[in-house]
Amino acid sequence: MKEELSDNLRELHGRIVEACDEYDRDADDIIIVAITKTHPAVAIKRVVAAGIHNIGESRIQEAEPKIIEVGQIARFHMVGHLQSNKVKKAVELFDVIQSVDSYKLAEEIDRRAAEIDRIIECYVEVNCSGEDQKYGAAPGKVVELIQRVNYLDNINLTGLMTVGPLTDDREHIRRTFRMCQEIFKEGRDIVGDDFDTLSMGMTDDFELAIAEGSTMIRIGTGIFGPRED
């Protein structure tokens, strides 16, 4: 298991370097978030020991005992859909909430963060692919959402997150990522230089995301192997 992890990480770094060479990016500008959903707490400890400092989880119930067990050994990112009744837990457990997709949710995050005297980092999630089973704000609504969330005192809005379309059509995936990059630039014009993270790309599509300006890739399968979910 340990050897498999280091082999997988070596392979992942190789793919990142190759994509950066091809698309004229700097590999140092790409942050890896290891997605540890379905894997036990020890998987978090191992991947942190291997040099990954950002960990992503998608369900509060699953993440809570794992984060409590390992402690503050990494930056924890909430990457899954967040229900209002889980926000209180989310602002206690996570350093970053990547899945802000409505103003109502943002207001609740802001309120709960204020209660514990915290300023929490958030990204707006964009449904760039337009697939209706996906979460995320519709692309046409994102700019207004950024403008409004940017006023909330206990949220530090620093980026965008998107999940690429589920298709084998690489050109379509790339076009979708390009649209997200354009919205990201608009966000930067609104928020300023602190708005510096474009969380885009997973195991099967991160090269295309890097081609389109991604600064953060979220990798599960490519680090831990296939999930049994």
Does position 159 bind ligand PLP by CB under 6 A?
A: no
Residue 138 has which token pair?
Answer: 């519709």
Rounded alpha-carbon distances, angstroms, from residue 106 to 48, 86, 109, 113: 29, 13, 5, 10
Nearer to ligand PLP, 187 or 220 (CB): 220
Nearer to ligand PLP, 158 or 203 (CB): 203
Alpha carbons 32 and 76: distance in angstroms, whole number = 12
Alpha carbons 6 and 4: distance in angstroms, whole number = 6
| Calculated CA dihedral for residues 223, 224, 226, 227, nearest 10 degrees | -130
Which residue from 9, 44, 78, 79 is in contact with ligand PLP, where contact means CB under 6 A? Answer: 79
Does position 39 bind ligand PLP by CB under 6 A?
A: no
Supply the minimum distance, in Å, between the C-beta of residue 148 and ligand PLP.
23
Does position 112 bind ligand PLP by CB under 6 A?
A: no
Q: Per CB under 6 A, which of residues 182..211 are in contact with ligand PLP? A: 202-204
Relative orientation angle of helices 41-49 and 60-70, to the nearest 10 degrees: 60
Q: Contact, 33 vs 56, CB < 8 A?
A: yes
Total length of the chain: 229
Q: Which stretch binds ligand PLP (CB under 6 A): 46-54, 140-148, 178-186, 214-222?
A: 214-222
Supply the minimum distance, in Å, between the C-beta of residue 202 and ligand PLP.
4
Interface ranges with ligand PLP (CB under 6 A): 35, 37, 58, 79-80, 163, 202-204, 218-222
